[in-house]
Amino acid sequence: MLNPSKDLRTYFLVAPQTLVFLFGLVLPIAVILVVSFWEFNGIASIPAFTLKNYIGIFTSPVYLKTYANTIRFAAIVWFVCVLISYPVAYYLAFHIKSAKWQTILFLVCTVPFLTSNIIRLISWVPFLGREGLINQALMALHLTNKPIEIFLFSDFAVVLAMVHLYCLFMVAPIFNSMMKIDRALVSAAEDLGASAFEIQKRIILPLSAPGIAIGSIFVVTLVMGEFATMRLMSGGKSSSVGYLIKNQIDSLQYPAAAANAVVLLILTLLIVFAMLRVVDIRKQI
């Protein structure tokens, strides 16, 4: 027989999370969706129902190029983060035997995150600028006779800054996955004569896949919504959907900004769902 008081307590327990979910996520997205169908007369937003904002996104070469550019940056940053994070996580998990030193070295990786993103972005300017340390070193070594322009206010600077900002979001889940791998599997493979490459290919990489997928979701979703890094590190030469939305909000074009936000959200969710179809991350949750 059901106990009404017990059922009531269950509802009270889930009520706080439900309210936070509704008012912190569902309601704001619903408001953005409604505003995306409004009209903008050049001065103010007018409540209405029009598909003009969405039609403009899918028919404008500028918008389509901006979305393609955003996806390109997300793919490049994701790829570089995987290349850097996998060896770091592998070294921490398999070559550092002491749990104490694993913790210490992992905390060292988090030190840059003790400062704000803006400070970390600005800190690259003295290194990448025309008179920065990199150009001065190259000129001192006579590798070039003039400053190289691509280091700052370029796509290279944007990718470098984003990798710096988000690489830890890839290292942490991969490291967590590798720590859960049974070391007896690796020992058995070594006893059977498997090479280091075969162990990586058949044991460590497949069992680390859920961590890579989780890190990929973090990195891709963060890069897809970036605007500050794009503005500061590209010098206005490159654009992203996040930067586009920010400019539309600054110019009070709320319906167009809301429509772009909805399309960006759907696009990001499609990418995440595609990752989830490839790798099952439930083992890591």
pLDDT score of 111 more than 90: no
- Band of the pLDDT at 282, cuts 50, 70, 90? low
Residues of the domain holding 178: 62-284
- Count the helices and strands in the chain (H runs, E runs): 16, 2
pLDDT for the residue 8 = 74
pLDDT tens per residue across span 193-238:
888 889 888 889 988 999 999 999 999 999 998 888 888 888 777 8
Once rounded to an integer, what is the mean pLDDT over residues 263-269?
Answer: 93
pLDDT for the residue 231 = 84
CATH of the domain at 250: 1.10.3720.10
pLDDT tens per residue across span 160-198:
999 999 998 999 999 999 988 888 888 888 888 888 889
- Band of the pLDDT at 6, cuts 50, 70, 90? low
| Total of domains in the chain | 1
Is residue 136 in some structural domain?
Answer: yes
Is residue 142 in some structural domain?
Answer: yes
Is residue 40 in some structural domain?
Answer: no
Once rounded to an integer, what is the mean pLDDT over residues 231-246?
Answer: 86
Helix (H, G, I), strand (E, B) or coil at 45: strand
pLDDT tens per residue across span 128-156:
877 778 888 888 887 788 878 778 888 88
Is residue 146 in some structural domain?
Answer: yes
User: Six-digit token pair at 48?
Assistant: 């209405």
Q: Is-contact 102 95, C-beta < 8 A?
A: no
- Band of the pLDDT at 31, cuts 50, 70, 90? very high
Is residue 243 in some structural domain?
Answer: yes
CB-based burial of residue 102 (10 Å sphere; 0-12 exposed, 13-18 middle, 19+ buried)? Answer: middle
Is residue 19 in some structural domain?
Answer: no
Is residue 130 in some structural domain?
Answer: yes
Length of the chain: 285
Is residue 171 in some structural domain?
Answer: yes
Using CA atoms, how far residue 22 sits from 32, 108, 203, 225, 264, in Å, is 14, 37, 42, 22, 21
